[in-house]
Amino acid sequence: MARFTALLVLLSAMSLAVGACEKKKENTPKPQTAARAEASVDRGPTPDDFGDVYIEGSIGDASNLFPYLSGDSTSSEISSKVFSSLITVDKDQNLVPDLARSWDISEDQRTITFHLRDDVKWHDGKPWSSADLKYQHEMMIHPDVPSAYKDTFFQIESVQAPDPHTFIVTFAEPYSPGLTGLSGMGGLPRHLLKKTKPVDLIKSPLARKPVGNGPWKFVSWDTQQSIILEANVGHYNQPMISRYVMRMIPDSAVQFLELKAGKIDNMGLKPLQYLKQTDTSFFRDKFVKYKYLGQGYTYMGYNLNRPMFVDKRVRQALTYAINKEEIVDAALLGLGKPATGPIKYGTWAYKDDVKRYPYNPAMAKKLMDEAGWKDTNGDGVLDKDGKPFEFEIITNQGNDVRKNAAQVIQQNLKRIGVTAKLRVIEWSAFINNFINKRDFDAVILGWGLGLDPDPYSIWHSSKTGEHEFNFVSFANLEVDELLEKGRRIFDKEKRKEYYGRFQDILAEEQPYTFLYVPEALPVVAKRIRGIVPGAAGIGYNFEKWWVPKEEHLRNHQATITP
């Protein structure tokens, strides 16, 4: 929500030598930005520049367009454009005002008073107010409304809307992630939904045709084809580009062809595309590439309700058997680094000295043997009680990097006598039929991480419900206690101590094999101005992107066809 994406789905078949991973410095953000500035017109945007159509490629479709009611990246991306939020972030990931002009925090750290803008309307022209925020809170705590983001709302003791432009939230106890947890809150249109039963909220027509209060108005949604938005003229954060289109193109190779043909303006490049296929004069003339360490990590998670994964020695063995360096070199072509745990690399809560699992097939075999998995008949396959150790890895369609990582994992595990089968599934079915239903052995997926390190929603044992994020069913009483303590205090050093111990436990338990932190590799059409890379990436100020009138390519009313 509001630039925070809950699920990352990264995914390309490639085979290059490690030496091909070296890249010239011209592919880093700073010189790219300089080159772009030299090529651009020497002026800022003017009202005459308003216009053009921006088209983005996505590997998967949305599920619904209500804030907080879906966890996939496409839904979050669209809803964060249609709905504004109380707070957003700047390029350095500082919290800055959005719907809230300012806020005060009480001395006891329990109450946040938001002072709201008085110039905001819903897209149907009705005024937006604190009552809409209060209604959203009521929906989020209702048991019939499914959401993986309920936890912050459950920490709230009371909400008040004493006047249309003041919203007061009081937490039952001090809650350190409270401000960031509420930052994506922007309200729901109570005047349109108040007769809707909570159990029917997710089925409401507004879940597919939202009436928001954000800088972009909803136009249309053609399932598995495209979602179209248009600029909300007069909004306090009115976009300079007049129309936005997200096209669903599950195959990254097809996306790349559409990019080259000028039919989309942006996509996330795969490593081979970044290093080789875009290193041409054509691409340097038409596009700008960016590269920065991603805001999350990719992992292989084990369904801990499957008997084969109950013994932690098995999970440790599988991690020892997986060559992360080989995955980074072969699947990411060096554009990333091995992951070690669940906290964002380089941040204050990250612990560098957790237990590591360097590639060690001999240790993997030893641990499997201790857990009772042996090659009893000499066929090279480990078995126990007459059953071979084999399982299925699922990942989503459109993420070839992950598919390639899975293929490396298959070969690694085969060397210790473990059979891993790979299944690639279309995104919507992947989430709805497998992840939400917990119908998998192991999954390769990724998490995008927010500003606060609080990992409660992913790792606490209470978060194993159908639409919640602890879908591997991890349960550890000490972890529960640490996560509860970590969110109840504001002392950063104490929080760091709690989260450090938490990381040590996960390193020992290995409910995930933490695979890699990928480089983000977005490419954007060169005619787009206003991009300023920062710690938040490039998309945090999308409404400030613009195109000089003389470089407009598309008529606002033009039909967008796949």
Q: Where are the domains of the chain?
A: 7-65+223-291+521-551, 84-206, 296-519
CA distance 4 to 80: 8
pLDDT at position 558, please? Answer: 53
Per-residue pLDDT tens digits for 388-447: 999 999 999 988 899 999 999 999 999 999 999 999 999 889 998 999 999 999 999 999
**Lowest mean pLDDT: which of 11-20, 103-112, 405-414?**
11-20
Q: How confident is the model at residue 65 (pLDDT cuts 50, 70, 90)?
A: very high
Q: Over 50: is that where the pLDDT of 90 sits?
A: yes
Per-residue pLDDT tens digits for 429-445: 999 899 999 999 999 99
Q: Over 90: is that where the pLDDT of 98 sits?
A: yes
Longest dimension (CA), the chain: 77
Three-class DSSP category at 400: helix
- In order of 238, 245, 315, 353, 544, the CA distances from 242 in angstroms are 9, 10, 51, 49, 12
CA distance 7 to 446: 6
Q: Residues, the chain, total?
A: 562
pLDDT at position 42, please? Answer: 58
Strand partners, 457: none
Cα dihedral 283, 286, 292, 293, rounded to 10, equals -60
C-beta atoms surrounding 393 within 10 Å: 23
Helical H segments across 343-469, by residue range: 361-370, 400-414, 427-429, 456-459
Enclosing H/E stretch for 500? helix 492-509
CA distance 347 to 90: 17
The residue to which tokens 């079915």 are assigned = 429
* Encoded tokens for 248: 């669903």
318 contacts 364 by C-beta, under 8 angstroms? yes
175 contacts 485 by C-beta, under 8 angstroms? no
| Residue % of the chain over a pLDDT of 90 | 83
**Lowest mean pLDDT: which of 94-98, 240-244, 507-511, 551-555?**
551-555
| Helices 361-370 and 312-321: angle between axes, nearest 10 degrees | 160
351 contacts 498 by C-beta, under 8 angstroms? no
313 contacts 320 by C-beta, under 8 angstroms? no
Q: Over 80: is that where the pLDDT of 560 sits?
A: no
pLDDT at position 179, please? Answer: 94
DSSP string, 138-198: HHHH-TTS--TTHHHHHTEEEEEEEETTEEEEEESS--TTHHHHHTT-----HHHHTTS-G
* Encoded tokens for 549: 């009138």
AA letter at 548: P
Q: What are phi and psi of 296, to 5 degrees?
A: -160, -155
**The CATH number of 7-65+223-291+521-551 is which of 3.30.420.40, 3.40.605.10, 3.40.190.10, 3.20.20.60?**
3.40.190.10
CA distance 268 to 266: 7
pLDDT at position 537, please? Answer: 92
Nearest to 162 by CA among 122, 133, 201, 119: 133
pLDDT at position 27, please? Answer: 37
Q: Over 90: is that where the pLDDT of 9 sits?
A: no
Q: Which pairing describes strands 166-171 and 111-116: parallel, antiparallel, or unpaired? A: antiparallel
Q: Over 90: is that where the pLDDT of 133 sits?
A: yes
Report domain 84-206's class: alpha beta
The CATH architecture one would assign to domain 296-519 is Roll (3.10)
Q: How confident is the model at residue 448 (pLDDT cuts 50, 70, 90)?
A: confident
CA distance 209 to 189: 12
CA distance 64 to 164: 28
CA distance 150 to 121: 26
Per-residue pLDDT tens digits for 364-383: 999 999 999 999 988 999 99
Average pLDDT for the chain: 90
Nearest to 12 by CA among 517, 423, 401, 522: 401
Q: Over 90: is that where the pLDDT of 485 sits?
A: yes
